[in-house]
Structures are given as C-alpha cells and as structure tokens.
Structure 1
Amino acid sequence: MLDNLFELFRSRFPADRSRPFIQVPDGQTLSYGDVEALSARFANLLVSVGVAPGDRVAVQVDKSPEAVALYLACMRCGGVLLPLNTAYQSDELEYFLSDAAPAAVVCQPHRLAELEGLVAKAGIRATVLTLGATGDGSLCQRAKGLPSDIATTGRGGDDIAAILYSSGTTGRPKGAMMSHRNLASNALTLHKLWGFRPDDVLLHCLPIFHTHGLFVAINCVLLNGTSMIFCPKFDAEQAIRLLSKVTVFMGVPTFYTRFIASPSLTPAACQTMRLFISGSAPLLEETFNEFKARTGFTILERYGMTEGGMFTSNPLDGERRAGTVGFPLPDVELRITDEDGRVLPQGEIGIIEVKGPNIFTGYWNMPEKTKAEFTADGFFKSGDVGVVDERGYVSIVGRAKDLIISGGYNVYPKEVEDAIDRMAGVVESAVVGMPHPDFGEAGLAVVVTPADTALTPDGIIADLRGRLANYKVPKQVVLVRDLPRNAMGKVQKTVLRDSYAQMWKDSL
C-alpha cells in the first residue's frame, strides 16, 4: 500500500489545478498545478544529487512558496525532511548535521560557505544547495528544465517523513521522528475537527520550521484543497488588514497580544473570519477575554508538541473555556499520572501522558531516551503537568521538564546554561522563565562570577547572541556570588523567580 503523505495531499487537490494554493501579499501566487510541477522538479533534483528513500534533507531557509514545494518534494522522493530554525548558529548546526548525517543540505544563499564548511567539519557527504526568500539560489536554478512529474516513492505508514529537533533538558538536542502515518492521522483529525470548508482561506504568518506552521497549518490547507495567504513574517498591522480576505487564522499567543495592542483590531476587520486558533504556548485568560471583547470572536486554544502534533483542542461547536486546552482529540488517549506512573483520578494534578496514531516513533539515534519516554503500555510522557476537570477539559498548569516557551518557541534552560558556563570567568549559571507580556515567557539568567569579574550582563548577552538562536538568549542577566540551593545541593529555581520578580517587572 502506498502510504506516502504526498499522495494523501494530492488526492485532495482541486480538479482545477489552476486554483491558487499560495498567495504572497504583494508578490507571487502559485496554483496547485504550479506547486505540483515545482515539487516534482525539486524531487528529481534531490534524486539526482543522491537522495535515496530514507535519506535526510536538512533545510534551513527563509519562508517562501518554494520552501513549501521543497517540503512536498522530500515526501515525493521518499526523503526525510529535517527543518531547521533560521536563527540557529554554527555551533547548533554542526550538531544537527553530525547527528542526522543528511544527504543534502539546503540553506540560505549567504550562508553557503558556512554550511559547506560545517558539512566538511561533520565529516559527512552531503550536497549543499541554496534557496532564497524570493526563490533565488542553486536549488531553483538546477531544477529548471528537469521533468515536472515524478513517480511518488512508495513509503509505508511507519516510514519516517520528517525529523524535528528540539533541545533536551540535558542540553543535547533530540530529533523526534515523525512517520507518514503520524502526520497524516493528525492532519486528517484536525481538518475534520476544525470544520474546514470549501471556501476557507488561511492567513499563514507562522514560521515553517516548526510543527505549528509547517504541519498543522499547511497540512490542513493541503487536505482542504484551498488557498492560504502566505506572509513571510508576522506583522500585526498587515495581518489585521488581511483578515478581510481570509476565514481562518492560526497564531501563537504573542500574535494575539499584538493584535490587541492595535487600534485597528475591530469587529469590522474580522467580518469574513470564521475561526481564530491559538497554540504553541499557554494563552493568558486576560488575552482570551480581551480578544473576545474587542472582536466578538472566541479564540480556539489547543495543545500539542513536536513529538506528536496536536493532542487536545477546544471544541469548534461548544464552549471554548479560557485557561483550558479543551478535550483530547478523538483518536488520542490522555491520562494524568503521578511521578511513579500511577493514573490519578479526575481533578488531580499530574504528568500528562498521551497515546495515539499521531505520536512520534522515537528519537533519532537515541533508543534509550526513546524507551525512557514511553510507558510499558505505549503512552508518551509529555513532561507537561496538567489536570482534567469534571467536564473533561484539560488545563496545563506547569511543565515538569523545566521548559521555557518564549513567543511559541521552546527554550531549554540547560542548553542556555551550558553556553553561559563555557564563558571565561563564569562559575555557574541558572536560567529561569519569567512572565513576559509579549512573549508569554522570557529567560532570566542568574550568573555566578568572582568579585573581580570583568564580565557584564550586556557582554554575556552579546556573547550568547553569537552562539544561540535569538529566542534562546535571556532578556536579562544578573551577576551574583552564589545560587540558592536546597539540602541536596540542587539549585532552587523557584527562589530565583521569587527573588527577582519585582526587578523583572520593573524592567518591563
């Protein structure tokens, strides 16, 4: 049986392939026929440079219609897509390349020499291609003239379609392997659950190296056979102007706080809208309520993570409750357990565990880590702390894995702490998440230095910006002589959050 994800999408393409698929504001429009042909040429090129079924294709490029075609091309030739945040720096990229050993790497044109150097340093054999935001680069040039069709490579449902890296609490990034079945099942469920209609148009302002923008948003549009307005980045004023041309919007909480801050957000601006969806980070109840008061629309909040797409959703029809992420998806089992794995009764707080066809197959090259993250009966331990109320609504109340979610992106303190601790003159550090009105959370680094240090908070931040993606860099740094610890010697991060809460508020 041909379980290649691309064939599922193609079965939903409109019969009239001239219908638009991607529309860039004040830019190009690609029809379904255009994207079908372009993805075939890209797939033919990938095969010609040695990409075989199961080979990884690392992609670190700007958001563009061509980047979406490249995603489809990887599916068509049986490659495994490895999307990488464009903010990643050389040290981060070197690990990904060494670990995943891709057969091809596609990067921004201005980073060609850098990536070629990293490929050589990693000791892998990979063809490096380039793709720019406007479609320029060797990928498009070399694909010109290649056949605009290709036989879809047969893939089983359990074959890997993509690997998405997220940093681990130990500081070592983990590659979550998503199969064709994982992605297909979640997309089909969400498409049905959120009631996509033949006339729906999505406003896409999310990045496409992340589950939310790549698999949730784009896959729903592909299954619907309709179009999306594709913004290179989120600009609140531009997005509000475009709401009159669309019916569905997906965003992170930061997008909604910026909407609310604009006087342009009115009921009239939303008159064609059907649905606003929020995810990737907790939505504050104040944001939920104020958005409804300003627009008349109730945001639909949902919950998921890299390791399985979406797990829960507030209902399309029915009460969408502030502070909750709704009910488990129809094909997802969700339970709350204590630290010893015992299932807790309804209303008690514990670790969220999930099971379903959308849950990833494991971590790339980490069999022991994979085994540790699953229970004996097949539930994935999310690491998030939550509760299910008497009506079945799920609420997220914390995170057991010390995760910071800033602007919808995951930041693991251990990774940032390791980068700080490598600096000359640093004794040790602790990074904690603090509430932020725009990003939801942001990092505060408390750094232990000697009395005669030449280090400064600004200097530490500047150093980190050269080595970490910007969203991982703490917004503030405090220099101290020691860190608070408990009797077992563990740093008490709760004490740090409390100690610097007022200083943090005063600085915002």
Structure 2
Amino acid sequence: MTTSLFMRIRDCFPADLNKTLLETTDGSRFTYRDADEWSSRYAAALHGLGARKGDRVAVQTDKSPAALFLYLGCIRAGLVYLPLNTAYQTQELSYFVEDAAPVVIVCQPQRKADMEGIVKEKSVSGVFTLDEDGQGTITQAALEQPVDFAPVPCADDDLAAILYTSGTTGKPKGAMMTQMNLWSNGRTLVDLWGFTASDTLLHALPIFHTHGLFIACHCAMISGAGMIFLPKFDREQVIAALPRATVMMGVPTFYVRLLAGDDFNADLVSNMRLFISGSAPLLPETFAAFHARTGHYLLERYGMTEMGMATSNPLTGERIIHTVGPALPDVEVRVCDDQGQVLPAGEVGVLEARGPNVFAGYWKMPEKTREEFRDDGFFITGDIALIDKKGYVHIVGRAKDLVISGGFNIYPKEIETEIDKMAGVLESAVIGVPHPDFGEAVVAIVVPDGTQTLLPDDVMNHIKSLMANFKVPKKVFFVDELPRNAMGKVQKNILRDEYGTRN
C-alpha cells in the first residue's frame, strides 16, 4: 500500500469536510475542506517552483491558518519541512540555510531582504513571503493552483521534517524526523489522551516547535477535532476562549500566568476535560495550586525534539507530581549508567528511549548520530532520571547544562562562545537560574580581561544582535575568576547556588 504522513492524516479528516478545523481570534473559521484544498494549492505551487520529493523547504513565519496549511502542503508534496523559530537572527539563519540547503524559503515579509542576502549565491529557487494574515507571495503563487494535487507517496523512513536543536558545542543539530516518527507519535497520543472529534483544542503554542505542530495540531487533525487557534499565548484571549474548549496544551509558564488572576477558576473551565503541560519542568507549587483552583490535575509528559513524546502521566489513573509518567505504549525507556548498563528501578542514571517515534539521526552528522545511539537502537537522551517501581519516570536533572526558559531549550555553550569573542572579555559562563514566569532565566557570569570597561548592557546587547531573544541573558555579573574543580572544569553548580537567588 502506498501512503505517506499526509495521506494518513488526510484519511482521518471527518467525512463532512465542512467541519471547522480552526477558529481564529477575529471569529474567522477554516474548515477541513480549506485545509485539504489549500494544502493542495501550496503543494502545487512548491512543485511549480522546482521542489521535488526529499527537498527541504525552510519556513520562518508567524503563526496563522495559512502557515499550518503550508506545512500540510509540504508533506503532501513529499517535501521535508524545516520550521524555524521566528526569533532566530541572521547569524543563526545563515547556518540553517547553509546546512540544510533548502530549495525554497518562506519567511515573514519584513525578513525578505535579509533572507535574500543570506541565500545569495546559493541554489535556492526563491525566497517567498507569508504574513500573519496568510497573505504573501507564496499565497499568491498558490491561488491559481488546483485543489486536487495528488499526494506524493513516501516510505515510512522517508524524511518529513528536520528540526534544529541547539548543540552542546554551539553548533545546532538537525534532527531528522521520518514519516513514521511523526505519524506513530500522533496516533499513539490521540488514543492515550482520549482525543475525539468532539474535542476543541485551545492552541496557544507556536507552530515552529514540536509541541505546537506535531503534538498539538496532529492530535487535533488525526482525531477530527477543532482548534481555537490563537496567534500566541495572550492571557485575556485564553481566558475568553477556555469556556468553549475541552483540551489545552501548554508550557508551565502558561499555567503560572493563568493562576495569576482570580478570573481563572473552576467555573471558567467547567467544560474542560484535560490540561497538558510539557516542554519544561512543572513546579510542585504550580501543580498543587492548579488543582486547588480548578479541580484539575495537570497532565505532565516528557519529550524531546528528537522523538516527540516518550512518556506521559495517564489520562485515567494517578498523575504524580515530580514524574512524567510511564513510557507510551509503543515506546521503551530505561535508565543506564555511563557504560550503558541498565540500572534497576529507583537508581539514577541517563534516560534512554527506543520506539517508532525516535528520530533517524542528525542531518549530515553521522558521527554525532552514532554517539547518541546504543548498538541496540536506544537513543541516549542526556537527561538524568530514575524509573520507579510503578514504571513512572522521574526527571531528576539535565545533562550538559541545558537551560529551559519558557519551554525553549538553550545550550549555554552557544552563548558563551559569542560572549568570549567580545573585546574586553577573558571568559564567561552561562547558567540557568529559577524564574517565576519562564521556569529558568539565562544569566551570564563574565570575567573581564581588564583592557576596557564593560557594562551588563554591552553583553546583553551583543547577544541580542546575534541570537533569538530567549537566549539573551536576563542578567550579567562580572567576576574576577570562575570557580573550577581540580580538573579545571567550571563548577556551574556553584554559580547556580550563588546567582540563583540574586535579584
């Protein structure tokens, strides 16, 4: 049987294609028929631009129904979708374009000139635009295209997307997600979380991220559900939409912000059946306060860019704070020591996972891919965990000094490299410290070399000019030297203890 990720999702659309798939803040409604027809138009437009099966399409656009339909158009045409965070700056974008070699780029209109500068002398068919209202040159190219573009068949191990995740060495890695990776995870989560066609998902997440696109949107479309599609998390808009929703997915920051006002209460969410939290650790006080206020226990789950979701607290059954639940039905997880020996229940080690959701490897990085997989196919997540006797996974730490701020992964090395290049800087260390809204905030500790006067704003403005805003240090401290152990390694645990409570 010839099929593809798109064909499988399309087969799940409701029989009545006039059912609403998306409702936006201005009251506009977009049906499953719109999704079907516009995905055809975008697929045909991309095909007309020379994009063929396996080619990459890079997309850095605002969230909109059109942006979702463009994604569907890419996978309908057998293309590899490359979503890019809208906060990425020129230096970051240059690397992604150079590394992934997309055939077509779609960006925000205000980015067009910058993007054309990046792709100069590269084999790109063109740079096209798409704005927050769904208008732009890619939409113009799609308008006259047919609504019956034949979906391109794909093998299960053909690529569907490449998702860049920051690397510990400062070099981002492109996680290669196959057709089956994305389909299997969506299908499993629909069943696990009880999605049906009667659900309405309150969608306030970005769609350049695994959470918002492959988890949230796939769950809705595979179950034939509807979505209230907000451009971003806006507390007033979420409060207004909650009475008409049944499910919400969010990062812990969303729930902290909702709890900040008395207007968020049990009456408001009486129609809701499920709140899901992920992409960052959930604080026990948030879990407890949420239940006290609403009667709902937040469902915490665990995943990564490289594998979508791997574990989840149960829909029916005990949701235990400090855990991310047991493995999904088609996923295996284990905890191992540094030598790869499996540890018994209750012992702390590195979490590893294996299943149809686990990515195919890193784009053009075969050696890195080999390093991250065991010989028996288990992916080494780098997260420190234990699995209790009930099979629930407890994430107890993060390897490699990863910082998670507002649900975004930040690798300090990337920021440290740029700070260390600054005139007047001898060395630096970047850490994450507790933050009431974002979970963690980026803080830089800098050792000046004495050649010139440096101010905290100098460091922050330098990083802001190079990187996405979520990577910019919230605070900068200057010190004479960094604490080191006997081997000369910077002791970031000491820095976190010292600077974690400084205002």
Question: TM-score scaled to structure 2, two decimals?
Answer: 0.99
In structure 1, stretches of 5+ residues that fail to align are none
1:59 aligns with 2:59: yes
Which shows bigger deviation, 390-399 or 54-63? 390-399
1:164 aligns with 163
Identity %: 56
Separation (CA, whole Å) in 2 of partners of 1:410 and 1:124: 31
Give the secondary-structure state (helix, strand or coil) at the position aligned to 2:161.
strand
Give the secondary-structure state (helix, strand or coil) at the position aligned to 2:153.
coil
For 1:435-478, what per-residue CA distance to the aligned partner results, in whole angstroms no more than 9, with x for missing partners? 11111111110011034532100121112111110111111101
Separation (CA, whole Å) in 2 of partners of 1:124 and 1:430: 38
Separation (CA, whole Å) in 2 of partners of 1:171 and 1:480: 23
Q: Is the 8 A contact 1:450 1:481 kept in 2?
A: no
The residue type paired with residue 312 of structure 1 is T
2:484 aligns with 485
Change over 3 Å in CA distance of 1:273–1:97 after alignment to 2: same
1:399 aligns with 398
1:128 aligns with 127
2:98 aligns with 98
Give the secondary-structure state (helix, strand or coil) at the position aligned to 1:70.
helix
Q: Is the 8 A contact 1:435 1:441 kept in 2?
A: yes
Separation (CA, whole Å) in 2 of partners of 1:320 and 1:501: 29
Separation (CA, whole Å) in 1 of partners of 2:390 and 2:263: 37
1:39 aligns with 39
Q: CA deviation at 1:502?
A: 3.3
1:270 aligns with 269
The residue type paired with residue 379 of structure 1 is F
Separation (CA, whole Å) in 1 of partners of 2:97 and 2:501: 42
Q: CA deviation at 1:501?
A: 3.0
For 1:108-162, what per-residue CA distance to the aligned partner results, in whole angstroms no more than 9, with x for missing partners? 01111110110116x3333111000001210111111111110110100000000
Give the secondary-structure state (helix, strand or coil) at the position aligned to 1:262.
coil
The residue type paired with residue 165 of structure 1 is Y
Q: CA deviation at 1:197?
A: 2.2
2:375 aligns with 376
Give the secondary-structure state (helix, strand or coil) at the position aligned to 1:359.
coil
Q: Is the 8 A contact 2:345 2:388 kept in 1?
A: yes
Which shows bigger deviation, 451-460 or 106-115? 451-460
Q: Is the 8 A contact 1:236 1:262 kept in 2?
A: no
Q: CA deviation at 1:320?
A: 0.3
2:139 aligns with 140
1:428 aligns with 2:394: no
The residue type paired with residue 443 of structure 1 is V
The residue type paired with residue 465 of structure 1 is K
1:246 aligns with 2:245: yes
Q: CA deviation at 1:391?
A: 1.6
Q: CA deviation at 1:400?
A: 1.0
2:50 aligns with 50
1:390 aligns with 389
2:353 aligns with 354
For 1:31-86, what per-residue CA distance to the aligned partner results, in whole angstroms no more than 9, with x for missing partners? 11111111100000000101010000000000000000011000111100000000
Separation (CA, whole Å) in 2 of partners of 1:177 and 1:456: 41
2:25 aligns with 25
Q: CA deviation at 1:220?
A: 0.4
Q: Is the 8 A contact 1:373 1:380 kept in 2?
A: yes
Give the secondary-structure state (helix, strand or coil) at the position aligned to 1:63.
coil
Give the secondary-structure state (helix, strand or coil) at the position aligned to 1:502.
coil
Separation (CA, whole Å) in 2 of partners of 1:496 and 1:126: 48
For 1:4-57, what per-residue CA distance to the aligned partner results, in whole angstroms no more than 9, with x for missing partners? 111111111111111111110114211111111111000000001010100000
Separation (CA, whole Å) in 2 of partners of 1:501 and 1:115: 38
2:114 aligns with 114
Give the secondary-structure state (helix, strand or coil) at the position aligned to 1:401.
helix
Q: CA deviation at 1:362?
A: 0.4
Q: Is the 8 A contact 2:424 2:450 kept in 1?
A: no
CA RMSD of aligned residues (A): 0.9
Q: Is the 8 A contact 2:44 2:146 kept in 1?
A: yes
Change over 3 Å in CA distance of 1:212–1:456 after alignment to 2: same
Q: Is the 8 A contact 1:241 1:269 kept in 2?
A: no
The count of residues paired between Structure 1 and Structure 2 equals 503
Separation (CA, whole Å) in 2 of partners of 1:226 and 1:198: 4
Give the secondary-structure state (helix, strand or coil) at the position aligned to 1:427.
strand
Matches within 5 A, 1:299-378: 299-378=298-377
The residue type paired with residue 33 of structure 2 is G
The residue type paired with residue 23 of structure 1 is E
1:456 aligns with 455
In structure 2, stretches of 5+ residues that fail to align are none
1:80 aligns with 2:80: yes
Separation (CA, whole Å) in 2 of partners of 1:502 and 1:162: 40
Separation (CA, whole Å) in 1 of partners of 2:407 and 2:257: 14
Q: Is the 8 A contact 1:237 1:264 kept in 2?
A: no
Give the secondary-structure state (helix, strand or coil) at the position aligned to 1:72.
helix
Give the secondary-structure state (helix, strand or coil) at the position aligned to 1:315.
coil
Separation (CA, whole Å) in 2 of partners of 1:126 and 1:430: 41
Q: Is the 8 A contact 1:98 1:124 kept in 2?
A: no
Separation (CA, whole Å) in 2 of partners of 1:14 and 1:272: 23
Matches within 5 A, 1:433-448: 433-448=432-447
Separation (CA, whole Å) in 1 of partners of 2:353 and 2:395: 14
2:222 aligns with 223
Separation (CA, whole Å) in 2 of partners of 1:285 and 1:340: 33
The residue type paired with residue 74 of structure 1 is C
1:501 aligns with 500
1:204 aligns with 203
Change over 3 Å in CA distance of 1:125–1:197 after alignment to 2: closer
Give the secondary-structure state (helix, strand or coil) at the position aligned to 1:298.
coil
Q: Is the 8 A contact 1:276 1:300 kept in 2?
A: yes
